[in-house]
Every structure is written in C-alpha cells, then in structure tokens.
C-alpha cells in the first residue's frame, strides 16, 4: 500500500488490481462514531485519494455492524472553544474534499448511519445500504443545527417536505424506504451490501476515467453552487448551537442514559 495511507489509524485501505480502493472505518467498538482523531483523518483522506492516480474508484464502508454513527458523544462533550474551531474547519474541508475527489465514490452502508456518517453516504456518488439499516441525521436531538451537509443533500434527493420532516425531528428511516424515495441508490440484504458496492466500483473502474470523472465534476457543480450558500449558513448556525445550553444539557443527558444502559447490561451479565 502507498505510504500516503500508512499514517492513518482509524481506517484500513485495500487496493485491488483493477484500481478499486476499499476504505474501511476501524472504530467498530464505537459503531465507527467519529472522534477527534477520526475527524482529523477524514479531513485529509479524500484529498490523498484524489491525488492517487492508481485509484479509479472508491468504496467506503464500516467495520462491525455499523457504517458510521456520527459524532462520538464523549468527544463532542469534551470540545473546547479552541478545539471546536478546528473541528469546524475540518468539517468544511471534509465536505469540500468529498465533493472534489475525482474518482467515483461508492458508500457501502452495512449498518446504522447517523449524522455526518449518513451525510458522507449521501454525498457519495452511489450509496448501497442494508435494507434494515437505520439512517438518520439526529443533530437536532442533541441541540445542534444539521449544518454539515444534511441540509444540502436531503432536499436535493427527496424534496424539501421530506427533508424538513426528517431533519427537524432527527427521526430515522429504514434503508429499504430510503431506496424507494431515492434518498440512496439502492437497498439490499446486509450481507450483499459490500459485494454490491464493489460491483458498482468495479464498473466505474472499468469505465473511461476522463468521461466518468468529467461527468461527476459537471454534476457536482450543482452541489458546489449550493454549498456556497447552504453550508456557509449551516456551519455558522451550527457554531452557535454548539455552545448553547440546550446542546450541553442534551449531550449530558444522552451520556447519562448510555451509562445507565451499560450498568444495567453489566448487572444482567
């Protein structure tokens, strides 16, 4: 594997002879939730991939039973004003880099995907999801604005009415329903998700790269226009919500509830 990937600790990379790079998130014990290290690495990985001429298509997937559960609550609770500014800088870079990576990206959503984890899937060029996967953007549930890409992607894919219905409540939608709506590319049994994603990636890898990458760039021009408005407003609003009392209270309550569940599970065992 290329030395550019050796520094990554939260992801594993496998490059096939056909040029398909499979990127697997490695925080299975946390449902691949994003902490500071994972977030920092996400802010550089797509630029690194984009400069790797051996790569003709990309598959993103999660280890264990989840794709990516969004932000790790313990990390979020421990943010300071200084680290929070770094986080928002990185968050914008992740979005921009994912839109700019020239190779087609296929998200293999092998389980739950929430918050920015689901946004990464929506911003990918293909999203293959498990039929029973719970997909959501629950920013509002912990007092945050859904400003990191969800407010841009949902209305494009399923219309404003459904976007408001799910972003203003944080309610989940099942994978099979998301496919029926056109929120994702397709849904299939969980065991077929990664193989099916690799089929799409292999097809892209075998296609003329100039034609595929040029078409992707043209299509993503629409997203770049929207990102200049929606993401600027969204990230600005999310910054304010991140220091609100509601956010601090709700994150604390969520962590307390999690601790109680763990204690109850330990007692039963």
Can you give the pLDDT at residue 132?
97
Separation of alpha carbons 145 and 29, rounded Å: 27
Which of 66, 150, 138, 137 shows the shortest CA–CA distance to 108? 66
Q: Are strands 186-188 and 11-15 parallel, antiparallel or unpaired?
A: unpaired
Can you give the pLDDT at residue 2?
74
CATH code (residue 67)? 3.90.226.10
Q: Indicate if the pLDDT at residue 261 is higher than 90.
A: no
Residues 162-167, mean pLDDT to the nearest whole number = 97
For 198, other C-beta atoms within 10 Å of its C-beta total 21
Confidence of residue 27 (pLDDT cuts 50, 70, 90): very high
Residues 96-116, mean pLDDT to the nearest whole number = 97
Counting the structural domains of the chain, the total is: 1
Q: Indicate if the pLDDT at residue 186 is higher than 90.
A: yes
Residues 145-169, mean pLDDT to the nearest whole number = 95
Q: What is the CA radius of gyration of the chain?
A: 18
Can you give the pLDDT at residue 269?
66
Q: What percent of the chain has pLDDT over 90?
A: 88
Q: Indicate if the pLDDT at residue 142 is higher than 90.
A: yes
Cβ(130)–Cβ(189) below 8 Å = yes
Separation of alpha carbons 83 and 34, rounded Å: 14
Cβ(167)–Cβ(137) below 8 Å = yes
Confidence of residue 213 (pLDDT cuts 50, 70, 90): very high
- State which H helix or E strand residue 236 sits in: helix 209-242
Separation of alpha carbons 198 and 203, rounded Å: 8
Residues 207-214, mean pLDDT to the nearest whole number = 97
User: In which domain, by residue range, is 185 found?
Assistant: 3-268
Q: Indicate if the pLDDT at residue 1 is higher than 80.
A: no
| Tens digits of residue pLDDT in 44-98 | 999 999 999 999 999 999 999 999 999 999 999 999 999 999 999 999 999 999 9
Can you give the pLDDT at residue 40?
97
Please provide the average confidence, as pLDDT, over all residues in the chain: 95
Sequence-separated (6 or more) residues with CB below 8 Å from residue 184? 109, 121, 122, 127, 128, 129, 135, 175, 178
> Rounded to two decimals, what is the model's pTM?
0.94
């Amino acid at each position: 594997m290329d030395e550019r990937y050796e520094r990554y600790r939260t992801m594993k990379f496998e490059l096939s002879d056909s040029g398909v790079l499979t990127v697997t998130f490695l925080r299975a014990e946390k449902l691949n939730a994003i902490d500071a290290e994972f977030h920092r690495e996400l802010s550089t990985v797509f630029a690194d991939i984009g400069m790797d001429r051996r790569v003709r298509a990309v598959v993103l997937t999660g280890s264990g039973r989840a794709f990516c559960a969004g932000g790790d609550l313990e990390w979020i609770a421990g943010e300071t004003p200084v680290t929070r500014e770094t986080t928002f800088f990185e968050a914008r870079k992740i979005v921009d880099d994912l839109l700019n990576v020239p190779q087609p990206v296929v998200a293999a959503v092998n389980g739950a995907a929430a918050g920015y984890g689901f946004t990464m899937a929506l911003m990918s060029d293909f999203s293959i999801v498990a039929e029973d996967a719970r997909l959501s953007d629950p920013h509002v549930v912990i007092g945050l604005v859904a400003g990191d890409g969800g407010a841009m992607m949902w209305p494009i894919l399923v219309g404003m009415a459904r976007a408001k219905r799910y972003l203003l409540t944080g309610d989940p939608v099942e994978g099979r329903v998301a496919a029926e709506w056109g929120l994702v590319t397709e849904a299939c049994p969980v065991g077929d998700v990664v193989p099916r994603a690799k089929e799409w990636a292999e097809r892209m890898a075998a296609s003329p790269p100039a034609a595929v990458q040029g078409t992707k760039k043209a299509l993503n021009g629409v997203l770049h226009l929207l990102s200049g408005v929606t993401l600027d407003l969204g990230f600005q609003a999310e910054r304010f919500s991140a220091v609100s009392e509601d956010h601090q209270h709700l994150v604390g309550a969520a962590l307390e509830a999690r601790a109680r569940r763990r204690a109850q599970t330990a007692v039963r065992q």
